[in-house]
Structure 1
Amino acid sequence: MEPLPRETIVDVLEGRLREDILTGRHPAGSYLPPERTLADGYGVTRTTLKHAFGRLVQAGLLETRHGVGTRVLDYLRFGRADLLPMLVRHSPDWIGEVFEVRRHIGALIAERAAARATERQCAELRELLAKVAEAETADAVQLADIEVHRALARATGNRVYVLLTNTLFNAYVPLRSSLVAPFTDARVAHGRLEPVVEAVAAGDTAAARRAAEEYLTTTERIMLEGLS
């Protein structure tokens, strides 16, 4: 059983504002109404409104200038990685584009990991892979699988790959409970991922890339079938 999210009033307001922006009620380039007007309209305090604004500014949806106002930004020009989970919540269509990047980045990470992983990192990968087979629930299998991919990113020696991996997994959060289909059988999930880890441990870059592409394509298909 998955715990219910505990939303605060800031979470709810952020979601309302985000939807109003992404659906075009507040189009890019326009200025939002004055804070007092917005706060009264949503039935919240100005402090709550400022907290919600702060999150949307961080994500690249809004720009606030003292004495000028709060302007809606073109998120395709100014948006940052923080925005991906919001976009997936707004429209599940985004998940297909997330998966496309997941395939390309994941295959490249496996290839780089095979070229650069140390003995210690290879041992860690095998330990984490074993936890996939040992997990007792689909959710636990999914989380164990994620840790293997984080370790693969670390094994590249490139911290940007680690941050990209984190970003992609964070984008799944809104739909995570709907993406467990590849992880319902721990042994099968382990078997899908094992060729990637073994190719990396063997230092075979071509095999690691092929195995990762196969793994990512297969799990993507199963996940998308679960969403449809």
Structure 2
Amino acid sequence: MNLQRPTRSTLVEQVASQLEKLIEEGQWPVGERIPPEPELVEKLGVSRNTIREAIRALIHAGLLRTRQGDGTYVVASSSLGPVLQRRMERSKLSETLEVRAALEQEAARLAAQRRTADDIKQIQITLGACGAAEQSGDMEAYITADLAFHKQVIVAAHNRLLSELYDSISESVTNSLSLASFRWDLVRVHSQLNERLLEAITCQDSAEAGETVRSYIQASQDALLDLTEGGNTEHHE
């Protein structure tokens, strides 16, 4: 039997793999600060340098980020997200919307099939936030609530990989959309379609759910085209 003594690099890889698994399984969720080095050293039984190198590897992979004087935080649930995010940042917004449409249409169809009572409740809550933002005339709050609404639809599809892919795409869309490009006439169209989407998911009508998302993304694409042609003149009344 030919055995090789483990090297320092493989030990770092093993530790990094364990930490990555905690992130992927949600034990260390996005936004949470990871345990301090001394605690990880004690739990894993390795040196502080090994822990530091493993953390550095995960920072490089885009899973962790260090905040000076505050610790290290989880910023992505898999290494796939940061890679896609960098790629999407180099893409046109119109291309990003097309990819988002493909993901959201399938997610809406799956959500209609798989949604639970709690899923419906969470979607209703985010839809209520959309309505409140529209009533108050707060465009920034509306965009945030609208994205949260569609994220809840993704969650209701109960497909983890789909959710991770969507997170990468939606962040790119959010970063690319200026407040000026999101008009109140578009908000009114989106509000009607969001209501329709909720009804389709509640009634478990997969075909209608997918078609509603198609209409929603088409409205966004049309608005983007208007913007590039010098539109965007309407204001909230």
TM-score class normalised by the smaller sequence: 0.5 to 0.7
Residue 183 of structure 1: CA displacement? 5.0
Matched, 1:109 2:107: yes
Give the 5 Å matches for 1:1-228. 58=61, 80-88=83-91, 94-135=92-133, 136-177=137-178, 180-183=181-184, 187-228=188-229
Structure 1, 209-218 or 173-182: larger mean CA deviation: 173-182
Percent identical across equivalent pairs?
Answer: 20
User: Gaps spanning 5+ residues in structure 2: where?
Assistant: 1-56, 63-81, 230-237
Residue 172 of structure 1: CA displacement? 2.1
Give the partner amino acid of 2:161.
V
Match of 1:28 in 2: none
Residue 126 of structure 1: CA displacement? 1.3
Alignment: residue pair count: 151
1:11-31: CA deviation from partner (whole Å, max 9, x where unpaired): xxxxxxxxxxxxxxxxxxxxx
Change (3 A) 1:204 1:182: farther
User: Gaps spanning 5+ residues in structure 1: where?
Assistant: 1-53, 60-78, 89-93
Give the partner amino acid of 1:124.
Q
Contact 1:85 1:173 in 2 (8 A): no
1:14-53: CA deviation from partner (whole Å, max 9, x where unpaired): xxxxxxxxxxxxxxxxxxxxxxxxxxxxxxxxxxxxxxxx
1:98-130: CA deviation from partner (whole Å, max 9, x where unpaired): 111111111111000000000111121112111
In the superposition, the TM-score normalised over structure 1's length comes to 0.58
